[in-house]
Chains A and B, each alone.
Chain A
Amino acid sequence: MSVTKSLFTIGTAALASGLIMLSAAPAKAWEPSHPIEIIVPAGTGGGADQMARTMQGIITKHNLTKQPVVVVNKSGGAGGEGFLDVKNSKGNDHKLIITLSNLFTTPLATGIPFSWKDMTPVAMMALDEFILWVNADKPYKTTKDFVAAIKAAPDNTFKMGGTGSKQEDQIITVALQKATGKKMIYIPQSGGGAVAVQLVGGHVDSTVNNPIEAVAHWRAGKLRPLCVFDSKKLDYNEKIQGDLTWNSIPTCKSEGLDVEYLMLRGYFMPPGVSKEAVAYYVEMFKKVRETPEWKKLMSDGAFNTTFMVGDEYAKWVAENEKIHESLMKEAGFLASKSN
């Protein structure tokens, strides 16, 4: 079974490169003619991977397309491997990539040559939220308590855990440092789950985990959310811990911490793909959004469910690229141009 699958993948890859030259597909009612590949530019088990695999499951279960969907992880070089693959698959109508913030941060921090402009935007599926968490045993009940404690202590007293280096978590940490005027020690971990556990174990003082990464520990009373890095409160009213819901968490701005950050969970395709194919996938994603499984994933992870396609999406991406560039420039995270 798995043998045939892997042989199959090889076959597809070989075919795909051959088909680029032959892709004079009929313009009307485009349908995929062979398996659809979703690239995940991150490791297995992370947020992007979970979303891609959940969608794979939804698409298969509800028969949203006739061809099988294959999820492939290409996580090398902070996801650069996956993006380069898509960039170099010009005109391949059967390849999609799900993005996270490394769409912006990886080329800026490492100099790996790609940008969203090298790809075709398809759709924004959701935005992932970030929350400031502390250990529930610590005396900080509110953001104000915590900020006051940071301000009262010398530089490099408080440790912030986060995923990866020069990526979203560290960008938020730098913004926090700016807002509080104190330096924090940023300790990078390999994944969001490990970050949350380091906080539960008291090895760091705070994290900016996504909701889904930390919710289990919050429910168990081990972690406490202080504020959410969004312009408005989260719109989910299910009780999670005691009477608290996602909606009970104040925004950081209202707590005097003027930092906002959201992470893109969206799809791109290689350059030069047909408009019909893009339209096909947009329709498919719209159907995915209607399924109960998708709605459950959204509420479990307290996602911001903004959906965008076409020019609106491209405009959003362009704006966010600028924001990342200025944030990272300020933090000194840009790769030196020498290599």
Chain B
Amino acid sequence: MFEDIGNLMHGFAVVVQPHNLLLMVVGIVLGVIVGVLPGLGGANGVAILLPLTFSMSPTSAIIMLSCIYWGALFGGAITSILFNIPGEPWSVATTFDGYPMAQQGKAGEALTAAFTSSFVGALFAVIMITLVAPLVASFALRFGPAEIFSVYFLAFCSFVGLSKEPPFKTIAAMMIGFALGAVGLDQMTGQLRLTFGSETLIGGFDFLIAVIGLFGIGEILLTMEEGLSFRGKSAKIDLKVVLKTWKELPKYWMLSLRSCLIGCWMGISPAGATPASFMSYGIAKRISKRGKNFGKGEIEGVVAPETAAHAAGTAALLPMLALGVPGSPTAAVLLGGLLIWGLQPGPLLFVEQTDFVWGLIASMYMGNIVGLIVVLTCVPLFAAILRIPFSVIAPIILVLCAIGAYTVHNNTFDVVMMLVFGVVGYFMKKANYPLAPLVLAIVLGDKAEVSLRQALLGSQGNLGVFFSNGLVGSVMTLGLIALFWPIIQNGWARIRGSSPEARAAE
């Protein structure tokens, strides 16, 4: 333990060398750009920049690449809040309350809350990695297909039934999402599904295309209909907004702690940042006293998903280092980088490459601090974007969306699909169909399906596998409780002799 702290200090000494600090800032800025551009996600960004780092020492290289990763994590929140376009899958939940806040002229507050929560989440996860890395790595090994499915199940359950829309519309939207997610190659049988012999459909619908269209283009269409006005105009562009928001944030310490724990857990069990953000948002909405305001611009609705997403994104690096299993697509590219530098991720990395591992962990601390400073100083700048007239900014957003959609697979058809999704998104909003369940189903639907089928294949069709040990059984039970929470809550309230609304109003 003390030896580890010594190693960490040594790591800090490596990291604070001027050229490494410079690489850090460069990495963060590049990462923010990558995160802001929808489609050009962290994975692409890291992959494109990977060759640049071959001439560096492995430690410098990983510092720069991991900073791109932090930057992208930070950057994803910016477009979600300002334009309702999530740059990364895990920013979708941030749009639910972040965008309404921006529309109410509180873009600065939303951005500050998002960045600060990201930082808190990441910091929590890094501390956890520092203290209990070996322990946690062995916990990750307990996740087989059944356990992984139970985690997805919990993510769905904690989110279903949240929306204000009628349950049938929610279910319809979710089913459309599942159907879209099923297009392409079925991993379990190696067969093509729902492609109708078309060569352009074999890749399936990428989540990003759907999101850029449904949220971004759909939103632009709506705004156009409402008279070309951008409602975020009144955004204050003053650095004081940061301090003001900071004063408010400590109130939500319980929410943050819960989100951190959810995030770390999801990052280690290789479910990743996306379910973490949805789950955290869902649970926050259930538990918060102001839960009814969620979706209308509640700051708690920004804090919860951002904290969890970053805790998960950071914690996901642990299974990558300790087991060689990437917890996210970006981690997968980083993993490739490690191998190219001749570092073998795995249980012995922590023993044989102490310099590198503790350098990386130290860079996680420093990278996040540097990142927070960089993005926070830019908050007024980002918020000021909303002052640009809609007729100028909308075409720019459209072009960026098109570039983003194209970059996902270098495929022109994706740009067409993005526009189609835009129109679909517009009509769904008009008809009051919620978009979030659709997106959740596209992102997690096929993964949940695969782990369900893997589990059932292993058990030869026996459903008992989902309650076969304490871990999977308790997660499944939690999921069921989350699913039936409204009923439980009602029942509880009746026993107590007061309705939940009455208590919430107190």
Binding site for B on A (CB under 8 A): 1-3, 5-7, 9-10, 13, 43-45, 49-50, 53-54, 56-57, 60-61, 69, 71-78, 80-81, 84, 105, 109-113, 156, 159, 164-167, 170, 185-191, 193-194, 196-198, 200-201, 203-204, 212-213, 215-217, 219-220, 222, 293, 296-297, 300, 333, 335, 339
Sample (25) of A-B pairs whose CB atoms are under 8 Å apart:
A3-B40, A6-B44, A9-B410, A44-B336, A45-B336, A57-B50, A57-B51, A61-B54, A74-B409, A81-B409, A105-B190, A110-B185, A110-B190, A112-B192, A112-B202, A165-B188, A185-B458, A188-B190, A188-B454, A200-B141, A216-B346, A219-B344, A219-B348, A300-B342, A339-B197
Take A53-B51, A212-B339 as given contacts and tell me if A156 and B460 are in contact as well, using a CB distance cutoff of 8 Å: yes
B504 interface residue (CB < 8 Å to A)? no
Measured CB to CB, the nearest residue on chain A to B404 is: A6
> Apart from A2-B48, A76-B202, A187-B458, what 15 extra A-B contacts exist at CB < 8 Å?
A54-B340, A75-B203, A109-B190, A110-B202, A188-B454, A197-B141, A198-B144, A201-B142, A215-B346, A216-B345, A216-B347, A216-B349, A220-B346, A300-B339, A300-B344
Nearest 9 interchain pairs by C-beta? A76-B203, A216-B346, A77-B202, A45-B332, A203-B144, A165-B190, A166-B190, A220-B347, A201-B141
Across-interface contacts of B30 in A (CB, < 8 A): 1-2
Select one of B47, B202, B454 contacting A187, CB under 8 A. Answer: B454
Interface pair A77/B51, CB less than 8 Å apart: no
Interface pair A1/B184, CB less than 8 Å apart: no
* Smallest CB separation, B351 vs chain A (Å): 9
Query: With the chains together, A161 CA to B144 CA distance in Å?
Result: 11
Query: With the chains together, A54 CA to B326 CA distance in Å?
Result: 18
Query: With the chains together, A50 CA to B344 CA distance in Å?
Result: 13
Query: With the chains together, A241 CA to B185 CA distance in Å?
Result: 39
Take A2-B40, A6-B40, A44-B43 as given contacts and tell me if A193 and B324 are in contact as well, using a CB distance cutoff of 8 Å: yes
Interface residues of B in 330-375 (CB under 8 A from A): 332-333, 335-336, 339-340, 342, 344-349
Measured CB to CB, the nearest residue on chain A to B192 is: A110
Query: With the chains together, A2 CA to B27 CA distance in Å?
Result: 12
Interface pair B450/A190, CB less than 8 Å apart: yes
Measured CB to CB, the nearest residue on chain A to B323 is: A197
B17 interface residue (CB < 8 Å to A)? no
Interface pair B190/A76, CB less than 8 Å apart: no
Query: With the chains together, A296 CA to B339 CA distance in Å?
Result: 10
Measured CB to CB, the nearest residue on chain A to B43 is: A44
Take A109-B190, A200-B141 as given contacts and tell me if A61 and B403 are in contact as well, using a CB distance cutoff of 8 Å: no
Across-interface contacts of B336 in A (CB, < 8 A): 44-45, 49-50, 53
Interface residue range, chain B: 35 or more
Across-interface contacts of B149 in A (CB, < 8 A): none
Query: With the chains together, A29 CA to B91 CA distance in Å?
Result: 51
Across-interface contacts of B457 in A (CB, < 8 A): 185-187
* Smallest CB separation, A173 vs chain B (Å): 13
Mask of B177-195 contacts with A, CB within 8 angstroms, 1/0: 0000000111111111001
Select one of B189, B319, B340, B454 contacting A166, CB under 8 A. Answer: B189
Interface residues of B in 398-435 (CB under 8 A from A): 403, 406-407, 409-410
Measured CB to CB, the nearest residue on chain A to B447 is: A190
Across-interface contacts of A186 in B (CB, < 8 A): 457
Query: With the chains together, A112 CA to B195 CA distance in Å?
Result: 11
B11 interface residue (CB < 8 Å to A)? no
Interface pair B344/A333, CB less than 8 Å apart: no
From B324, B349, B406, B407, residue with most partner A Cβ within 10 Å: B324
Interface pair A165/B403, CB less than 8 Å apart: no
Query: With the chains together, A30 CA to B204 CA distance in Å?
Result: 38
Across-interface contacts of B190 in A (CB, < 8 A): 78, 105, 109-110, 164-167, 170, 188, 333
Measured CB to CB, the nearest residue on chain B to A163 is: B187
Interface pair A81/B202, CB less than 8 Å apart: yes
Select one of B144, B203, B347 contacting A77, CB under 8 A. Answer: B203
From B34, B189, B203, B325, residue with most partner A Cβ within 10 Å: B325
Interface pair A60/B51, CB less than 8 Å apart: yes
Query: With the chains together, A44 CA to B332 CA distance in Å?
Result: 6
B213 interface residue (CB < 8 Å to A)? no
Query: With the chains together, A297 CA to B343 CA distance in Å?
Result: 11
* Smallest CB separation, B13 vs chain A (Å): 28
B143 interface residue (CB < 8 Å to A)? yes
* Smallest CB separation, B409 vs chain A (Å): 7
Mask of B486-505 contacts with A, CB within 8 angstroms, 1/0: 00000000000000000000
